[in-house]
């Protein structure tokens, strides 16, 4: 029994010895007591030409980056490049979708222009700036994910993360020599110099996200979650619990076919002759303009009515007919050019004819019955008369 215990300790010790023998020097670290010392030390170390070194402080020390010889933090240019790329990609996307892939006339506006593209451009810019910054900083510059740096678990780290200032020169620096670095630190007035060792086997330990066990666990958890979700949603709720889901109830979707009615239309039309409450159907619907000559404008000619007519005309008619009825609207040849509203035909028309065109449409001009109320249509007719009178003003129309 005793022999066993002794053997155990002997073995334990020899194993420790072996591990100690395989320790390799990772870096030499030095602790300084004041920020002034760390500034001086950093500029001396970088001045001597060391490249693989880093400074650690318990709080940000201004201009330490300059003292370390870091010319310009790369993260700025990386973020800027991402941002510019995002900006141009977003603009390119908006231009391509708006004017190449799916050109759509919307109120005569250009297919591509800057103002409506700004929100997307803004989003694209900050999105790629964010990606570039995170990826550039974490992966390219900070070389993450790497959580097993030999410096992490040392007395040095405890101090520099509390109240001391430290510098570490890595052993794989081109100029590194243990004695020279120790000598340098001593001459700079380091209060504590510590060699940092590592076991080569430890460094090959990958961080958890590359660890097979970790990945397998993750996949396992995800699979279990998926199965549980599937069973609760599909089996328990749908089959075990007799839940009357709406999507399973017999119904007809809008715009879809139904074999129930002879014409196979799922949607029902109103019975012929149905009139909506409070609505008087237009009795000359579809008739030629000769039929409407007796139709008279029910609205008085008043400032209010004419202003209402002007407002509605500018909204609904001016895109094609132009603000003054000359047929020079903003659609700029994206729609057949309408005739002038000052031609002799329209000038000689009765009010009813103009109303008829608005209500019924005429050839390519669509009906505005659905968009503009009856009264507003009559107000527009008055306003068209105003435009005509203004264009053909006589001397006596001028104020004296
Ligand atoms: C989408 C463009 C468009 C809009 C909007 C539009 N029109 Fe027209 N309009 C036309 C075109 C094109 C014609 C010529 C139709 C034809 O070939 O007979 C026309 C014809 C007319 C005519 C008959 C002119 C003639 O000489 O035969 C009148 C009157 C008229 N529009 C009034 C209006 C009024 C009032 C509005 C606003 C409620 C309006 N239009 C809105 C395109 C438009």
pLDDT in tens, 115-130: 999 999 999 999 999 9
Ligand 1 close to Cβ of residue 339 (< 6 A): yes
* Substitution candidate for ligand 1 out of 337, 355, 362, 385 with most atoms within 8 A of CB: 362
Is residue 159 within 8 Å of 22, Cβ to Cβ?
no
Q: Which of residues 90 and 278 earns the better pLDDT score?
A: 90
Give the pLDDT confidence score for residue 92 in this predicted structure.
96
Lowest-confidence pick of 17-21, 247-251, 299-303:
17-21
Q: Which residues have C-beta within 8 Å of that of residue 166, sequence separation ≥ 6?
A: 29, 30, 31, 32, 38, 55, 56, 57, 156, 159, 160
Is residue 202 scored above 90 in pLDDT?
A: no
Residue with tokens 């670290």: 29
First to last CA, the chain: 132
Ligand 1 close to Cβ of residue 317 (< 6 A): yes
Residue with tokens 């031609």: 343
Give the pLDDT confidence score for residue 370 in this predicted structure.
85
Is residue 28 within 8 Å of 41, Cβ to Cβ?
no
Q: Which atom of ligand 1 is nearest to the CA of 337?
A: 12
Give the pLDDT confidence score for residue 276 in this predicted structure.
78
Is residue 170 within 8 Å of 176, Cβ to Cβ?
yes
313 CA distance to ligand 1 centroid (A)? 11
Q: Which atom of ligand 1 is nearest to the CA of 317?
A: 37
Render pLDDT for 346-373 as a digit per residue (tens, 0 to 9). Answer: 999 889 999 999 998 998 999 998 889 8
Is residue 303 within 8 Å of 292, Cβ to Cβ?
no
Q: Give the model's confidence band at 181: pLDDT under 50 very low, under 70 low, under 90 confident, else very high.
A: very high
Is residue 206 scored above 60 in pLDDT?
A: no
Domain ranges of the chain: 26-204, 211-251, 289-397
Render pLDDT for 288-317 as a digit per residue (tens, 0 to 9). Answer: 877 777 788 999 999 999 999 999 999 999
Q: Which of residues 187 and 251 earns the better pLDDT score?
A: 187
User: What is the C-alpha separation between 317 and 381, in angstroms, rounded?
Assistant: 11
User: What is the C-alpha separation between 56 and 166, in angstroms, rounded?
Assistant: 5
pTM reported for the whole predicted model: 0.44
Render pLDDT for 6-16 as a digit per residue (tens, 0 to 9). Answer: 776 666 555 55
The tokens describing 365, both together, are 């001009």
Is residue 178 within 8 Å of 28, Cβ to Cβ?
yes
Report the chain's mean pLDDT, rounded to a whole number. 87
Render pLDDT for 126-168 as a digit per residue (tens, 0 to 9). Answer: 999 999 999 988 888 877 766 677 888 889 999 999 999 999 9
Ligand 1 close to Cβ of residue 252 (< 6 A): no
Q: Give the model's confidence band at 18: pLDDT under 50 very low, under 70 low, under 90 confident, else very high.
A: low
Atom 34 (ligand 1): residue with closest C-alpha?
317
Give the pLDDT confidence score for residue 251 in this predicted structure.
84
Ligand 1 close to Cβ of residue 379 (< 6 A): no
273 CA distance to ligand 1 centroid (A)? 29
The tokens describing 200, both together, are 């080569």
Among 139-143, 268-272, 378-382, top mean pLDDT goes to: 378-382
The contacts found for 55-61 with CB under 8 angstroms, 24 or more apart, are 55/165, 55/166, 55/167, 55/168, 56/156, 56/157, 56/160, 56/161, 56/165, 56/166, 56/167, 56/168, 57/160, 57/165, 57/166, 58/160, 58/161, 58/162, 58/163, 58/164, 58/165, 61/35, 61/165
Q: Give the model's confidence band at 274: pLDDT under 50 very low, under 70 low, under 90 confident, else very high.
A: confident
User: What is the C-alpha separation between 174 and 311, in angstroms, rounded?
Assistant: 80
Ligand 1 close to Cβ of residue 387 (< 6 A): no
Atom 42 (ligand 1): residue with closest C-alpha?
365
CATH architecture of the domain with range 289-397: Orthogonal Bundle (1.10)
Give the pLDDT confidence score for residue 68 in this predicted structure.
93
Give the pLDDT confidence score for residue 106 in this predicted structure.
80
């Amino acid at each position: 029994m005793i022999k066993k215990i002794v053997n155990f300790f002997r073995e334990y010790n020899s194993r420790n010895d072996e591990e100690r023998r395989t320790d390799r020097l990772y870096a030499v670290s030095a602790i300084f007591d004041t920020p002034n010392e760390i500034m001086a030390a950093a500029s001396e170390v970088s001045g001597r030409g060391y490249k693989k070194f880093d400074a650690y402080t318990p709080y940000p020390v201004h201009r330490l980056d300059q003292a370390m010889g870091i010319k310009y933090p790369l993260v700025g240019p990386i973020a800027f490049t991402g941002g510019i790329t995002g900006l141009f990609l977003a603009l390119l996307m908006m231009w391509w979708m708006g004017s190449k892939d799916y050109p759509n006339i919307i109120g005569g506006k250009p297919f591509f222009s800057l103002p409506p593209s700004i929100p997307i451009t803004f989003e694209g810019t900050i999105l790629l700036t964010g990606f570039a910054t995170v990826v550039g900083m974490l992966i390219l510059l900070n070389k993450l994910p790497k959580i097993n740096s030999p410096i992490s678990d040392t007395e040095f780290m405890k101090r520099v993360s509390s109240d001391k200032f430290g510098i570490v020169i890595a052993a794989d620096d081109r100029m590194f020599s243990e004695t020279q670095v120790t000598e340098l630190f001593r001459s700079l007035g380091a209060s504590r110099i510590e060699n940092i060792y590592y076991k080569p086997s430890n460094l090959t330990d990958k961080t958890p996200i590359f660890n097979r066990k970790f990945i397998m666990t993750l996949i396992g958890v995800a699979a279990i979650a998926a199965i549980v979700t599937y069973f609760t949603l599909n089996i328990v709720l749908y089959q075990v619990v007799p839940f009357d889901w709406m999507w399973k109830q017999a119904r007809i979707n809008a715009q879809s076919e139904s074999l129930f009615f002879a014409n196979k239309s799922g949607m029902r039309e109103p019975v012929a002759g149905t009139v909506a409450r409070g609505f008087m159907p237009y009795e000359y619907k579809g008739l030629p303009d000769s039929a409407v000559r007796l139709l008279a404008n029910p609205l008085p000619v008043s400032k209010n009515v004419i202003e209402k007519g002007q407002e509605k005309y500018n909204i609904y008619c001016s895109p094609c007919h132009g603000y003054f009825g000359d047929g020079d609207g903003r659609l700029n040849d994206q729609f057949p050019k309408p005739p002038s509203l000052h031609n002799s035909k329209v000038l000689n028309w009765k009010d009813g004819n103009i109303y008829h065109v608005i209500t019924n449409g005429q050839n390519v001009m669509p009906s505005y019955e659905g968009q503009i109320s009856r009264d507003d249509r009559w107000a527009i007719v008055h306003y068209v008369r105003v435009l005509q009178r203004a264009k053909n003003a006589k001397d006596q129309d001028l104020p004296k």
